[in-house]
Amino acid sequence: MILFLKLIGESFGFAFSALRENRTRTLLSLLGVTIGILIIIGVFSAVATLRANLENSVEKLGSRTIYVMKWPWDGGPDFPWWKYVNRPEPDIRDYEALKARMTTAEAVSFTIDIGNRTAQYLNNNVSGITVTATSHELYDIRELEIVNGRYFTESESNRGTNVAVIGATVAEGLFPNTEPIGKSISVLGRKVTVIGVFKKEGEGMIFDVSMDNVVMIPLNFARNVVNIRSYGPAILVSAAPNVSLEETESELRGVMRSIHRLSPQQEDDFSLNKTTIITAQLDTMFQMINTAGGFIGIFSILVGGFGIANIMFVSVKERTHIIGIQKSLGAKNYFILSQFLIEAIALCLIGGLMGLSFVYLLTVLVKLTFDLAIVVNIGMVILTVVLSTLIGLVAGIVPAAMAARMDPVEAIRSK
């Protein structure tokens, strides 16, 4: 065993000596594997980061919340829009009836979003904001974090008091050097008093559901200012803690059909949207992206493997006479075999580590530049290291076997 370990150690020495002596060739050999590993880790990290961001955005919508709306969320290229265009929008009557009749709901809220508006305070303006008009129950459905001030009370909501809770971006734009609480801002052509500021959340990569650019006002105040039917209203129904979402959905569908007086033969004239609809679409999309990224990365690594195999054949050719001398002095076949296998594996492992280093540098650069945390799957890192080792074995086995089977006399004559 000691002799065997000593021979393996000498094999490592011969292999790394060969790599040091041919630095340019070694570097060129490493590039193929490095690029392959970089592509695999980079693609899967980008996908994982995108998925985490999207799932975080979807989670903000509420995993136990059902949205009663005119349009369904499960769109696509074959979306039958003509089936839904003549549906009625959810209205206040639906909302009040659901509040009175739902037994499996924890809370029911009515909300509209009025987009692309401008908020003003003195000479400061913030454009492109979303004015969200909602009933008081939204606070019980969505996790609304307020870092300064408070949410409007139920009595303020019922009376339609002109108060507002504003997003962090709005607060920074309107009150750069001033305390916003208690100040009056102009929005929708009316004056409203700021009573709270939402916690800064940051924008989403694909769709943004953060409260940073929102001015939230009581629904009954908005009803005196705009026609709420014109802004795609939605009724939010959250399931009670001890009730499954499916049970709440079933009751909600029955109550809505009763409110709209639909016969058993008639189709629903409303949509019940859940976050599972979005997550199912995301699963399908990311499965396709992962498959495509995997194929691209594997082909890149295979190209690097072919490059290493080619280099190993050249290395065997150059060291034929040395192999002959080693065998004439009593070197076993496995000693010769291990030299070239270790050299091939070392090339792939070093290339893999270089690829991982580039990925790490890119994640740091993206974090510093865009303030975006990149998700790197440790399982994928381990897989790429194993993959590098396997490619080294495959790329080096044939030239190593050729070297091990050489006739020592013929090998020495090749010089």
* 173: phi then psi, degrees, rounded to nearest 5: -75, -40
Confidence class for position 202, pLDDT limits 50, 70, 90:
confident
Selection from 22-31, 215-224, 324-333 with the highest mean pLDDT: 215-224
Helix axes 275-318, 23-61, angle to 10 degrees: 170
Kindly tell me if the per-residue pLDDT of 216 is higher than 90: yes
* 286: phi then psi, degrees, rounded to nearest 5: -70, -30
Q: Which run of H or of E encompasses 358?
A: helix 333-370
Domain boundaries, the chain: 2-57+280-413, 88-269
The full DSSP string for 5-31 is: HHHHHHHHHHHHHHHHHTHHHHHHHHH
Query: What does the pLDDT read at residue 320?
Result: 76
DSSP-based three-state secondary structure for 120:
strand
Q: Considering just the CA atoms, what is the radius of gyration of the chain in Å?
A: 33
Give the up-direction half-sphere exposure of residue 247: CA atoms within 13 A in the CB hemisphere.
Answer: 11
Average pLDDT, the chain: 82
Residues 196-220 have a mean pLDDT of 81
Q: Give residue-wise pLDDT tens across range 115-153.
A: 889 999 988 999 999 999 999 999 888 888 899 999 999
Query: What does the pLDDT read at residue 254?
Result: 93
pTM over 0.85: no
122: left (phi over 0), alpha (psi -120 to 50) or beta: left
Greater pLDDT, 273 or 372: 273
| C-alpha–C-alpha distance, residues 235 and 260, integer Å | 15
| C-alpha–C-alpha distance, residues 236 and 138, integer Å | 8
Kindly tell me if the per-residue pLDDT of 403 is higher than 80: no
| C-alpha–C-alpha distance, residues 162 and 171, integer Å | 17
Give the CA dihedral 224, 225, 227, 231, nearest 10 degrees.
Answer: -130
Kindly tell me if the per-residue pLDDT of 203 is higher than 70: no
Query: What does the pLDDT read at residue 76?
Result: 63
Query: What does the pLDDT read at residue 18?
Result: 64
Kindly tell me if the per-residue pLDDT of 404 is higher than 90: no
Q: Which of 368, 314, 341 is CA-nearest to residue 28?
A: 314
CA distances from 265 to 84, 257, 261, 268, 269 (A): 17, 11, 12, 10, 12
Query: What does the pLDDT read at residue 67?
Result: 92
Residues 161-177 have a mean pLDDT of 93
